A and B are shown apart, each in its own frame.
Chain A
Amino acid sequence: MSAAPEALVTREHGLALLGEMLRIRAFEDRCYRLYGELKIRGFLHLCNGEEAVAVGAMRALGPDDAIVSTYREHGHALARGVPMTAVMAELYGKQSGCSRGRGGSMHLFDVAKRFYGGNAIVAGGLPVAVGLALAQKLRSATGLTACFFGDGAVAEGEFHESLNLAALWRLPVLFLCENNLYGMGTALDRAESEVDVAAKARGYRLEAAAVDGMDVFAVEAAVARAAAAIRAGAGPALLELRTYRFRAHSMFDPQLYRDKAEIDAWQKKGPLITLTTRMKAAGLMTEDDYRRLDAAAAAEVDAAVAFAEAAPWEPIADLERFVYAEPGA
């Protein structure tokens, strides 16, 4: 696994990353409560524990890069800069939501941020990412396409088809496998004959590496290195970001497939603890810094909830809008 260069670990930089991760943690903790209060419905997949993947990756990407994500994408969207108000309003199903209430938790979109979903078919986003990268290459654009997917996706044919096509055509795609060890409730080693995702990618001649997905600096550094190589014309790459989800798969998951002890063990190396322990040991932050950032995150979540509560509903008369492009679109 690649380690983070010490150069990244400065007070300002570390606090910025911590603040972003705390935003996501606070947002999702509130989502959990709002689900119990029936404010949010449908499927809700939380990424608690995986914040370093979202924050580290987005820090290393630029505004011209396109993002394709999965149904566990609140963290990706927030770290990308999709306004928390619009994300929360989307979970409420409101008109002010980032998909006008038509997407919900699994389908967050924000074209201004080049955030192309929110794809809820496992591996279904990979071919689209290949196409976005094909457009970037043929239009000689500077951007690349970063495509998130879970470890469950590597069993799908679309994973293999997409890696092959991206490598065959040397497209600027960065495949980011967010490996949280379980595809829903099935451990990777119960689904895959070869559990080394990077090794699979190398079989298609992609540059590939495994990264400690609990270390936000390591994620940022690895994504930055891979992105630089892709921008220099090296072709696609894959990073396997090893992480863990602290909460259930969705709100309907009794977690019969894993031990409490395993969860406890991973929580001891969670992304927030990993970062703060390192920063404090280096004398770069204090407990007051943490409290201040945590309070700011809580305040932002409060504001997002207030925004969503007050936001209007899409009129039922507009139900059939947007199935096709509207004139002038």
Chain B
Amino acid sequence: MPNPVHEPPRAMNDARPPAAAATAPSPMRQSYRDALREALRAALHADPRVFLMGEDVGRYGGSYAVSKGLLEEFGPERIRDTPLAESAFVGAGIGAAIGGLRPIVEIMTVNFSLLALDQIMNNAATYSHMSGGQIHVPLVIRLATGAGRQLGAQHSHSLEGWYAHIPGLRIAVPATIDDARCMLAAALASPDPVLLFEHAALYNLEGERTPGLTAVDIDHAAVRRPGRDLSLITYGGSLPKCLAAAERLAEQGVDVEVIDLRSLRPLDDAAIMDSVRRTRRALVVDEGWRSGSLAAEITTRIVEQAFYDLDAPVARVCTAEVPIPYAKHLEDAALPSPERIVAAVRGVLGRGEAG
């Protein structure tokens, strides 16, 4: 298993210029990792039914250091290290949720969640309907997802689109500091199972927290950057890439809107169509593979619901259809990047090469 805690911080992905990071940190800035930890602490303080379990969440402090210090603060009953037995501890989370607790289960990497797919798909997602509405599973599963850190083909995939295929689950994706800090409470308030996908490349992201913001929903998309010429529809680890691409495009006189989906199931059709009807062009950016992807679903919905408002075909930037390779140049080439996004936007606008 990787030990990403000790890797050097990568370049920050948010839109602020690097110079800002060199100044003394303002109290209103926070890292994505610290925001997630703040959310966990708040949830554990707010409700005695809440507990966290997963591999190395306790003594190790979480493989991405999200739960560091929580064992000391809340004790081993509520910060539970588990064996390497994904099916058992995810299933135990389901049972504990049915039994009246509010478990938060951490799965170290989305690839490992496949060992628990039986429990997630056959039990968590089905119990409510299969029991005629008698059973609810208020379980929250946190998973690290995504590539970009040279971890190879068994630690880097983006499978949230698969999970978004499954009725009975809710899929939420925090891509900002505020959502990292506030989405967990909304997920815990849901009577249904919620999977929270944290892109591993975001843990070191730093950004502003919105003063006074204490609660968010996990139902609606958000406009992260308003624009007139095209709707960039994305989520999670691709959001900073889209914002960076939007900045470059602005310098070229192209004004794109960036939509952060936030929830992949349900999808906020209204927000997507509202944006597309205004800009009349859409590009979907999704770190999943293109075939059968979430991007395909979003594209189809736009075609179904807003076809006559479009001035150009909907386009997509997805990950190349390969298992994620190790070598940096290959991995970079496989993933959506600001460069690929800029080029694709220009293609939709019929402007071809930049310049």
Contact = CB atoms under 8 A, between A and B. Distances in A.
Interface residues of B, number: 40
Which interface class (under 10, 10 to 19, 20 to 34, 35 or more) fits A? Answer: 35 or more
B89 to A, nearest CB: 7
A164 B85 contact: yes
A120 to B, nearest CB: 8
Contacts of B100: 135, 139
Interface centre among B95, B96, B98, B192 (most CB of A within 10 A): B95
A131 B98 CA distance: 8
A68 to B, nearest CB: 8
B30 interface: no
A181 interface: no
A135 B82 contact: no
A124 interface: yes
A95 to B, nearest CB: 9
Contacts of B94: 127-128, 131
B87 interface: yes
A131 B83 contact: no
A178 B212 CA distance: 57
A257 interface: no
A165 B168 contact: no
A323 B83 CA distance: 31
Most A-side CB within 10 Å, residue of B77, B87, B90:
B87
Interface in B154-168: 167-168
A169 to B, nearest CB: 8
Nearest to A325: B191
Interface string B264-288: 0000000000000000000000000
Nearest to A103: B130
A76 to B, nearest CB: 15
B99 A325 contact: no
B168 A130 contact: no
Given A119-B123, A135-B101, A138-B101, A322 B129 contact: yes
Contact of B88 (A68, A102, A132, A164): A164
A111 B95 contact: no
A147 to B, nearest CB: 10
B132 A103 contact: yes
B136 interface: yes
A107 B131 contact: yes
Interface of A: 66, 68, 97-103, 107, 109-111, 116-119, 121, 124, 126-136, 138-139, 145, 157-158, 161-162, 164-165, 168, 321-326, 329
Given A107-B131, A165-B88, 20 more contacts: A101-B132, A102-B132, A109-B130, A121-B118, A127-B90, A128-B123, A129-B95, A131-B91, A132-B96, A134-B99, A135-B96, A135-B100, A161-B83, A162-B88, A164-B83, A165-B82, A165-B83, A322-B129, A323-B128, A329-B136
15 contacts: A100-B133, A121-B123, A124-B123, A127-B90, A128-B98, A130-B92, A132-B95, A135-B99, A145-B95, A161-B83, A164-B88, A165-B85, A168-B83, A322-B131, A324-B170
Interface of B: 51, 77, 82-83, 85, 87-101, 103, 118-119, 122-123, 127-136, 167-168, 170, 191-192
Q: Which 4 A-B pairs have the closest CB atoms?
A: A131-B95, A127-B91, A135-B99, A100-B132
